Amino acid sequence: MRMALSCLLLFTLFSTVAPIESLARRNALTPDQKEHLRTAQDIRVQTLALTEKGAADSGAIQHVISDRLHTIGLTVVDTSTKPHDVVLKVKCEERRSSVAMTTVGGDADQPGAPSRLWKGPTCQLTYSIDGQIGPWRQEVRTPFEDAWQAAKTQGHKDSGLYALGQLREVLRKHNFPLELLAEWKQAKRLAAILTSKDTHPATKRTILRLSKKVAGPTMLQALYRTMSDKDLAPHATRAMGFMGTAATPFLLDLLEDSDSVELKALAAQALGEIGAQSGDMSILLPLLAMMDSPTIDLQVQTEIVKAVGKIPDHQSEDPLQQLGVKAWTSRSNDPRMQDLREAIDWSLWQIHPSAHTED
């Protein structure tokens, strides 16, 4: 009876770890809370571990979470009596309890979003500020769903403890600390990690993927610095497409002067993204000027054509139609030529749905 009551109290304490989606969305953070998260430093961590037999010791999970937060420069506060900016709650279970979620939109479209079908070992991570649950939730899962069978295969008698141990190992490698920084819009901290010579390339690639969530001057400067790394330059170029018009001059120079076909093509993609989001017509004329250059690579040309289509304007119609005549009358068997033809048709359709190039 005492064990059941203890588990009930622990479950009640951590019931906010998997809030109902609609409730989380109604509790939108205030502008002051969002601003506070940008500089959050002191984090209180609350962990809960549950097996099919009941509550288990969560000390090892607490240690892993604290260590991961320390590595990104955050301070973990030990007790609730000490001042803290945010509470991070982590509930790990041998078998995931039912959680409410949406099928599309919001968290459902994000990496690490809860899976509707998964029933195996899981850690649910959420945070709260001023006692209010934030709109972020991450789900960490083991590679296996059946903890009992996995434990038996590995010669472990206690499936619950085995599952929790495997969840700890997943948490040691998971990107949740970086996801949190992106959620809290801590661009300065993410930029510092990205540009540090001690940061692992895989971590840098993750930050580049998340950079659109912290778009602004700080991250843009970090992306410029990252371009010196040839392995990361393609990822950084792609990320600039989410930095707004401030990235336009650099991308135009890259498109015109780079020796790399890959970077030229990615620069065109990024410019198209900026044009689509901002409606900045000043991007269009340079793209049109380069679109039919005699020495242009087909891959780059195709991406420029797509970018032009993302900034639809009638002044692009004639150049696209002229290029379309060349492309459709060409006898080239290069698969990239067909890609170009299709891109021209698509862009013309964006400008004028009845435009055709085949005739």
Whether residue 232 contacts residue 226, with contact meaning beta carbons closer than 8 Å, is answered with yes
Measure the CA–CA gap between 260 and 241, rounded to whole angstroms.
18
Q: For residue 110, what pLDDT band results from cuts at 50, 70 and 90? A: low
Distance of CA 225 to the CA centre of its chain: 20
By residue count, the chain amounts to 359
Whether residue 66 contacts residue 45, with contact meaning beta carbons closer than 8 Å, is answered with yes
231-249 pLDDT, tens digit per residue, is 999 999 999 999 999 999 9
Q: For residue 352, what pLDDT band results from cuts at 50, 70 and 90? A: confident
What does the block give as tokens for 73? 């420069």
Please report how the helices 317-329 and 284-291 are oriented relative to each other, as an axis angle in degrees rounded to 10.
30
Whether residue 226 contacts residue 199, with contact meaning beta carbons closer than 8 Å, is answered with no
What does the block give as tokens for 68? 């991961």
Q: What is the mean pLDDT of residues 84-110?
A: 72
Residue for token digits 């019931």?
15
For residue 211, give the nearest of 177, 236, 246, 175 by alpha carbon.
236
Q: What is the mean pLDDT of residues 310-329?
A: 95
Measure the CA–CA gap between 276 and 246, rounded to whole angstroms.
14
What are the residue ranges spanned by the domains of the chain?
2-182, 186-243, 253-359
Please report how the helices 284-291 and 261-278 are oriented relative to each other, as an axis angle in degrees rounded to 10.
140
What does the block give as tokens for 85? 């900016």
| pTM score, whole prediction | 0.84
Count CA within 13 A, CB hemisphere, residue 202: 3
**Average pLDDT value over all residues in the chain:** 88
33-60 pLDDT, tens digit per residue, is 999 999 999 999 999 999 999 999 999 9
Measure the CA–CA gap between 112 and 118, rounded to whole angstroms.
12
Specify the pLDDT at position 9: 45
Whether residue 356 is predicted with pLDDT greater than 90 in this model: the reply is no
Specify the pLDDT at position 3: 46
Q: For residue 2, what pLDDT band results from cuts at 50, 70 and 90? A: very low
Counting residues of the chain whose pLDDT is more than 90, the rounded percentage is 81
For residue 45, give the nearest of 79, 13, 72 by alpha carbon.
79
Q: What is the mean pLDDT of residues 194-210?
A: 97
Measure the CA–CA gap between 44 and 143, rounded to whole angstroms.
28
The phi, psi pair for 115, rounded to 5°, reads -95, 130
Specify the pLDDT at position 97: 83
Contacts of 37 (CB under 8 A, 6+ apart): 29, 85, 86, 129, 183, 184, 185, 186
Whether residue 100 is predicted with pLDDT greater than 80 in this model: the reply is no
Determine the 3-state secondary structure of 276 from DSSP.
Answer: helix
Measure the CA–CA gap between 289 and 283, rounded to whole angstroms.
11
